[in-house]
DNA sequence: GTCTATAGCTTGATAGAC
DNA sequence: GTCTATCAAGCTATAGAC
């Protein structure tokens, strides 16, 4: 959608998404958002309410699309395997692929959104609100599938394994460029297809090591 | 060290560490830091310079202690294995144990420090400055050791494996309480000894899966 | 080292004209 | 829906008395 056909509200949300992703909730002023959107300051309030509401709107906006896509993929891999339990790699793929795929190929708005998710997930201030509210119901579905795929696993091991997956995934979203620097250019933060090809086997191996009898 | 025997400068640094860890660099004002430290606003500038200098000082303060401890552990496991290459699990342990151990048992200052590291590591704004400057030289040492332990690995696979470890580790530091909520209390964010017992085998299995010939 | 006082901005939010 | 104008509050940073 071209810039001129966007509604004012959408322009504000896109500008907010970009700036929040770069510097976090507190690092951005409403005035900056208005400037970035090419819109008067007063319109931010008019269309999106107070700053904290604006932040929540930005965070929620893309969550629903993502989550229904991930649930559909989970259901597909369950149905394909039934009556056997779904394969571990397929569950992890359903969890991660819709995200990494959109971050890689969905355009700059999606990319910025995931960078924002990375910050929220690691913030003691924001994670209990943002992540729990919009993502945890979905995560519970995935945990249930993981239980089926790893029937001998202890509950704790499944949850901690999921936690490690979540950390690896969200740091990837942050695209801080650190791995580029560290590897001298061998790896590129933005090359999410390469990441995905590695994240699934890496975490699947971790899950198996923790969750299967030794 | 009791509160009364701390220098003013130390009180300011501790207060800043706490508040920055909770709400990030931009989420905290110098005045709040002064109030938390029980000190006049002007003293913050006098002892610690401008706000950005204060942040850097807080970030740097504990990094050196940590890094020399980690290097010593790395050297120890190398020496013990020589002339064979060090064991993968031992390298990961040298990388993670000094951190998780201090976060778990080093007192509240250390705990807050690591929560701050988690936020910086996931921030496009701060990671290129903070992490690269204070942690990457050490990381290069560990990468070298990993190369020895996984002689058949491609460079990219080692770096991406390290990246996943970094994400899993730093999300753990954030202690957002999300895993507590998600697991209905089965896991506790603050139980870092449990995490450590799982993080090492989980990531070692991931490294092997990616870095060894199929 | 510590405090008071203040300069000079920027902030979030809104009231009211059009 | 959009804009101008404005408020009260908070901000960083420092100068200068003690």
Q: Do B156 and A187 touch (CB under 8 A)?
A: yes
Mean pLDDT of chain A: 97
- Report the residue from A131, A194, A210 with minimal CB separation from B202: A210
- What are A128-176's pLDDT values in tens digits? 999 998 999 999 999 999 999 999 999 999 999 999 999 999 999 999 9
Instruction: Give pLDDT, residue A4.
Output: 66
Q: Name the phi and psi angles at B29, rounded to 5.
A: -100, 160
Indicate yes or no: strand C within 7 A of the C-beta of B30: no
- Taking the CA atoms of chain A, what radius of gyration do you get in angstroms? 19
Specify the CATH number for B3-59; select among 1.10.10.60, 3.50.50.60, 3.40.640.10, 3.40.50.720.
Answer: 1.10.10.60
Structure tokens at B139: 């990381």
Considering only residues A200 and A4, tell me which one the structure prediction assigns the higher pLDDT.
A200
Q: Which residues contact A87 (CB under 8 A, 6 or more apart)?
A: A77, A81, A149
pLDDT over threshold 70, residue A214: no
CA of B29 to C1' of D11 (A): 8
- What are B14-70's pLDDT values in tens digits? 999 999 999 999 999 999 999 999 999 999 999 999 999 999 999 999 999 999 999
Structure tokens at B20: 């920055």
Structure tokens at A135: 């993502």
Nucleotide nearest to A9 (CA to C1'): D1
Instruction: Give pLDDT, residue A70.
Output: 98
Q: By the 8 A CB rule, do A70 and A94 touch?
A: yes
Q: Report chain B residues whose CB lies below 8 A from the CB of A125.
A: 22-24, 27
- Report the residue from A132, A139, A171 with minimal CB separation from B163: A171
| Prior bond of B86 cis (ω within 30°) | no
Q: Do A187 and B21 touch (CB under 8 A)?
A: no
Q: CB atoms < 10 A from the CB of B213, how many?
A: 5
Instruction: Give pLDDT, residue A75.
Output: 98
pLDDT over threshold 80, residue A211: yes
- Topology adopted by domain A62-211: Tetracycline Repressor; domain 2 (1.10.357)
Residues of each domain in chain B carrying CATH 1.10.357.10: 62-211
- Chain A residue closest in CA terms to B142: A182
Indicate yes or no: strand C within 7 A of the C-beta of B37: no
Instruction: Give pLDDT, residue A5.
Output: 80
CA of B51 to C1' of D11 (A): 12
Q: What share of chain B is helix, strand, coil (3-state, %, to 5)?
A: 75, 0, 25
Among A65, A98, A92, which residue's Cα sits nearest to residue A77? A92
A213: pLDDT confidence band, cut at 50, 70 and 90?
A: confident
pLDDT over threshold 80, residue A1: no
Distance from CA of A51 to the nearest CA of B (A): 14
| Prior bond of B189 cis (ω within 30°) | no
CA dihedral (A184, A185, A191, A197) positive or negative: negative
d(CA A79, CA A77): 5
Q: In angstroms, how far is CA B25 from the centroid of its own chain?
A: 17
pLDDT over threshold 70, residue B3: no
Name residue, tokens 């001998």: A152
Question: Three-state secondary structure along A123-140?
Answer: CCCCHHHHHHHHCHHHHH
Among A115, A105, A102, which residue's Cα sits nearest to residue A171? A115
Q: By the 8 A CB rule, do A189 and A179 touch?
A: yes
Structure tokens at A92: 């992890």
d(CA B30, CA B50): 9
CA of B44 to C1' of D1 (A): 46
Helices A51-61 and A41-48, axial angle in degrees (round to 10): 60
d(CA A130, CA A84): 35
Structure tokens at A25: 């909730």
B5: pLDDT confidence band, cut at 50, 70 and 90?
A: confident
Residues of each domain in chain A carrying CATH 1.10.10.60: 3-59
Instruction: Give pLDDT, residue A64.
Output: 95
pLDDT over threshold 60, residue A74: yes
Instruction: Give pLDDT, residue A183.
Output: 98
């Amino acid at each position: 959608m071209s810039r001129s056909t966007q509604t004012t509200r959408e322009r504000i949300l896109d500008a907010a998404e970009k700036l929040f992703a770069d510097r976090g909730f507190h690092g951005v002023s409403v005035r900056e958002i208005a400037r970035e959107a090419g819109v008067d300051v007063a319109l931010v309030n008019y269309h999106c309410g107070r700053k904290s509401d604006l932040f929540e709107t930005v965070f929620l906006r893309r969550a629903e699309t993502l989550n229904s896509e991930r649930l559909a993929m989970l259901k597909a891999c369950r149905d394909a395997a039934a009556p056997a339990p779904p394969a571990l790699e397929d569950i992890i793929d359903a969890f991660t692929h819709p995200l990494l795929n959109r971050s890689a190929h969905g355009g700059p708005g999606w990319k910025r959104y995931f960078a924002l998710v990375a910050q929220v997930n690691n913030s003691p201030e924001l994670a209990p609100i943002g992540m729990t509210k919009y993502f945890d119901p979905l995560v519970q579905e995935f945990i249930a599938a993981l239980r089926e795929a790893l029937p001998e696993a202890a509950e704790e091991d499944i949850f901690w394994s999921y936690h490690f997956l979540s950390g690896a995934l969200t740091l990837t979203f942050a695209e801080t460029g650190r791995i580029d620097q560290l590897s001298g250019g061998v790896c590129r933060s933005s090359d999410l297809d390469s990441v995905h090809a590695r994240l699934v086997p890496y975490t699947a191996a971790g899950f198996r090591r923790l969750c299967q009898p030794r």
